[in-house]
Structure 1
Amino acid sequence: MSPRYRNGANQAGTVIAIVADIMALILGLWILMYLLDANRANDFVQFVHDAARWLAGWSHDLFTFDEAWARVVAGYGLAAVVYLFVGHAIANRVHRH
């Protein structure tokens, strides 16, 4: 394999890992904002909430805990962990090839 090809694979793997990290960061930020009772009328808080809701669309109502905070932590936290795990697994796979 040529060094140029390997460099492109490394860059692609790095980009994939960074995207996964950003997705998990947004989800983690929303969990933190929710737990700290951030002002939902604030534009930034609303943006983070909307982005996190979109990213965790498949998991945000997955759990039915009695406490709302537990549902938020479990649902959005699961999505963050999955994005980190899958994103970094794909990035590592790309780096090896």
Structure 2
Amino acid sequence: MATQRVRTAPLALGIAVVADVAAAIIGLWILLYLLDANPQNDLVNVSHDISRWLATWSHDLFTFDKEWARVVCGYGLAAVVYLALGNLIANRVRRF
């Protein structure tokens, strides 16, 4: 059983890292948006494009009057889901 865990440990780590990186990119976009970063900057554009792709299912889920609230809640929800689900799956794989 211990050798099984050794084999699944890299997979679990990979799943957790991918989930954490996805959440970090979305978090970066939220921060850049809230700080009113220059939209002509390449980092801002790339983080927005990747975040929009990652949060396709949630970025326009909420209809708050304030745009900043829609961004924080819509993209923030995606980041939280990636963190929670990714790490939950990684823990399950690690136990397998």
Normalising by structure 2, report the TM-score.
0.96
Return the offset for 1:7. 1.4
- What is the match of residue 58 of structure 1? 57
Give the distance between the partners of 1:32 and 1:45, measured in 2 at CA.
Answer: 10
Shift >3 Å, 4+ stretches: none
1:79 corresponds to which residue?
78
Alignment of 1:1-97 (within 5 A): 1=1, 3=3, 5-97=4-96
Q: Aligned partners of 2:9 and 2:52: how far apart in 1?
A: 31
Structure 1: stretches of 5+ with no match in the other structure: none
Measure, in 2, the Cα distance between the counterparts of 1:34 and 1:43: 14
Aligned length: 96
Gaps of at least 5 residues in structure 2 are: none
For residue 44 of structure 1, what is the amino acid of its counterpart?
Answer: L
In 1: Cα distance, 2:77 partner to 2:89 partner: 18
CA distance in structure 2 between the partners assigned to 1:31 and 1:73 by the alignment = 6
